[in-house]
Structure 1
Amino acid sequence: MNQIKKNWINIDPFSLQTRLILGTATFSALVLGSLAIWISWKMQQILVDSHKYNIGQIAKRLPRDVQIYSEMMQPETGLQKAINNLENPNILLWLKGSNNKIIVKSASLSLLSNATLSELMSLTKMPIKPQVYQINQSYFVLCGSSVQVQGKLLGDLFVVKDITREQKMFMAMVQSLGIISLLAIIILTAAIAVYIKRSLQPLRQLNQMASVISAEDLGQSQLSVDNAPSEVKELAQTLTILLSRLSQSWKQEREFVSNVSHELRTPLTIVHGYLQSVLRRQNNLTQTQQEALETAASEAERTIRLLQDLLDLARADNGYLYFQMKSYVLNDLVEEVVMMAKKYSDRIIQIESKVDRIEVKADYSRLKQVLLNLVDNAIKYSEADTPIVLKLNQLQDKAILEVCDQGYGIPLQQQARIFERFYRVDESRSHTTGGCGLGLSIVKTLVEGMRGSVTVQSKLGEGSTFTISLPTYTNN
């Protein structure tokens, strides 16, 4: 029961499966409904319309019979004889005069209940064409005509036939037909739903295969579905070709970034060296020249760092970013990073450790680069009078390092994207902070390369906490 309820909750009203089921169910309902209505109409013709025809014939015949009998006997006697000839237990006949009094009636009227008889006798006019009327719990076909003898109007003829049995049978059959039609629609819809679900299974398999393809698997991905329709197989082949083209395009892009970064880094390093050399002999420079050279050297250094980050990312994408994994004490590394950060900043940087010695297996220089990036971000995006705290802890086989600040914070909707390349939360501060949107991407790449993970928690106006989780040495 819980599984059925869960399946109902997970139904997508806009899915192809739901649309096909609703469409075929609606079409089936229209077809079966139309068929049921037609069958009901035919049944009414068989069970009811024949009685209407018989009553109509009696209403036409009786005046002629009365006319014939009146030539041989008294009109009242001929009228009674004609009624006696046509009456049966289900057919009721009587004649009302101009004073609304009954002149003659058939003996079958005595078979009716007093309430029904009283209701029938209270009728003053009869329809010329036979009609079905319900009186109490009974059904009757009513028809009437006028009776004339030798040009003289004797009265109005009332012809009634009791069709209660046939009408109830007709209503029961219509009710049964409606229930059968409803059950047929439900069963047919369920069968169609199962058939459509199985028919769409190849598309689901294709979707599942495509969803697990990563950027590194594009070139080797082969999408194929067994026992699938020709259209699905053609779609799989087209997607395979598309993935291959994407892989080639991405490979060319990564090679281009790597080559350009490598080619530009060397001349920029030389330019930066010459600028530093000139600045060291600043006695021969004017104030304006010195400021211009310092700006050029700073921008050259920033561009070199950008190119180095691009090179690292390109190597990671191509699988050429190697790590020298060794055992290190994380506490010592954090203290070294804090000392380095304090040399270039007058900020308060604190260390809080719940464990005196935490050993991790990592690449020392890469992990130092990660921590420097995170501390540098914390300095850039928080006020100068607020502290930055590095918290160390060990949970089972994981070493936990948190870099906490009390800065501007990151909007919730942007926290999932801050590790993307070239993504910046605030474009307006990119120039003042010197960021290019690669720092956190480098952090994520390096941490995951050391079999760790990095996450962020942040609130606007309260600060951010970046958490790095690394496997401890004892676990390896």
Structure 2
Amino acid sequence: MNKKTKFIKIFRVILRYSYILIKQTIMITPRIIKTLERVITALLNKFKIRLKFSITFKLNFIYTLVLSILLFLFSLTILFGFKFFLIEEAKSNINMYGEIALDNIKSVSAVPNELIESISKKGNVSINILKNNKNVIYETDKNNGEYYEDFQIDSPYLVKGTDNVEILILNKNFNLNNETYYIQIISNLKKENKYFSVFWVVLVFLNIVIVIITTRFGSRISQKVIEPINEMTHTVKDINVQNLDTRLNVKGSHDELRELAQTVNDMFDRIQDSYEKQNRFVSDASHELRTPIAVIQGYANMLHRWGKDDKEVLEESITAIKDESENMKELVEKLLFLARVDKKTQEIHKEEFYINELLEEVVKETKLIDLKHSVYNKTNKKILIFADYKLMKQALRIFIDNSLKFTPENGKITVGAHINKNKVVIVVEDTGGGIPNEDIPYIFDRFYRVDKSRTKSEGGTGLGLAIAKWIISQHEGSIEVKSTLNVGTKISIFIGMKK
């Protein structure tokens, strides 16, 4: 096997393995890309978490950044102003020495070399005298034989010198012995640039010191500002069901934080009030349900032991169980209604109808189920309203049922409706025992009873008026209660008219 054949064989092996490697790489690449994507995403998420700086850091960073920008702009303005001042001062000097040199030349009608040299040394400038064809006829030693052919007459101008240092040049022409001459004054701005550099370094140093001091003290000030928020956070974290009465401290602060703390305290007041109402509601509901359940269970046990063989006991037990089950059904229905109210799922279907027809229907039904009281309807005029017929009927039934319960036999209950200032006023008035003034603000609270000694059959569950109040409120109405002990009670319901 010669060298050529051996080389071709090795080359083929390299190509085959290269092909296999490339093929495997192509197959593995998507997995590698997906893995890299996961790694990069995880790193970015961690980076984002790290970037969740505290409010103290953010405040300190923001006003340090703003101060740094303002300092930078201020320093830049000062630097450019200082440089402008140095250049203007140099222009003023070069003009002055140019005038002195020209005055001396004109006074002697010749070029006074020694005097020009003296002016050059005194002003630290180079002076060239050129003829009309701009040939140098005199120059000071300071210019080293240099002069500038780009002439601008009578006004100083800046150029870059051989060492890249700015040079200020002033050219003036004059006539001497009927020939035109030019005087060229050159001022090197190395001294001015040095002043500028020193001033720049001083300003940078001062800016750095100011930023460091601001950052250091700004951090402390930010922490002092944020301290009440941290205190609020710790206080709120410690509040639980056992200490709902804990409130944020608002003493000593007279800014937005005081308003925030007061708002949070108000929120906790509402939460505590709702929590207490919920506990009271659950407790009262449990108590109300416990009594009928205990009665039903007692009669059931009595029937189980020996009552089923005694017809009188059997009848009594069946009647009691029936009554208590009716009471439980009524209570559960009211509780479910209030639960829907609390969850805001109770539906309202408003429609147009005449209130006098509703009152007539309610009075008629009341007369059928109650024969111990006189119930009258004083409304004859047709008054159109837009409301939920069933809910309004339920509310009226609640008010009339309360009047029946607390009005002695042969007492009088009157219902009616009239219009007063674009309002429909529905009135339910009785000749009952009345309500004490101190109890009137609470009669619409759930499970509230004016006379705690009354039995359930006389006093109800204490939920009806709460339901009635909600119904009226959903019709954007209001309720007014006037009552006199041993005289009677007048309930006035105000609802907007149909426009």
Instruction: Specify the structure having the higher radius of gyration (Cα).
Output: 2
User: Same fold, TM exceeding 0.5?
Assistant: no
Q: TM-score, normalised by structure 2?
A: 0.43
Q: TM-score, normalised by structure 1?
A: 0.45
